[in-house]
């Protein structure tokens, strides 16, 4: 799977522990997702301004996309915003935590694929 990491906004508004952990954790999560083949694209955005752009709560926005020619022109997507400080703010995110995030996204995509296949 192709994995893309990007960021939005000014990271200096977030404390340095969260900032350092978020960047390292997002890179590790990208590497973990790239090793999988349950979807075609994984995009993770470190949104330092916050989901509603108020600047009050930085978010990790994750999107997983799976294409299939018989579904064209549509595709399957999941969008999962997570509070950045909950995931990376306490310096306690482990490889197992990141793997559980990968497993969650895999389960969501597999569920959507099964539903789509029943409809076709």
The Cα–Cα gap between 70 and 74 comes to 9
Residue 83 neighbours by CB distance under 10 Å: 14
Tens digit of each residue's pLDDT, the chain (120 residues): 999 999 998 888 777 888 888 899 999 999 999 999 999 999 999 998 876 666 678 899 999 999 988 887 889 999 999 888 888 877 778 899 999 999 999 999 999 999 988 876
Residue 74, pLDDT score: 83
Residue 53, pLDDT score: 62
Residue 48, pLDDT score: 87
pTM for this prediction: 0.87
Q: Are 61 and 78 in contact (CB under 8 A)?
A: no
Residue 46, pLDDT score: 93
Between the alpha carbon of residue 76 and those of residues 67, 86, 91, 111, 117, the distances in Å are 7, 27, 33, 10, 12
The Cα–Cα gap between 84 and 117 comes to 34
């Amino acid at each position: 799977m192709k994995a893309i990491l990007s960021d939005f906004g000014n990271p200096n508004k977030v404390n340095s522990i969260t900032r350092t952990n978020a960047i390292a954790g997002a890179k590790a999560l990208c590497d973990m997702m790239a090793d999988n083949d349950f979807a075609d694209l994984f995009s993770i955005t470190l949104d330092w301004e916050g989901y509603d752009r108020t600047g009050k709560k930085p978010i990790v926005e994750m999107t997983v996309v799976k294409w299939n020619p018989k579904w064209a022109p549509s595709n399957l997507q999941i969008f999962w915003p997570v509070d950045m400080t909950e995931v990376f703010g306490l310096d306690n995110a482990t490889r197992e935590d990141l793997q559980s995030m990968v497993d969650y996204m895999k389960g969501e995509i597999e569920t959507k694929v099964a539903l789509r296949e029943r409809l076709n």
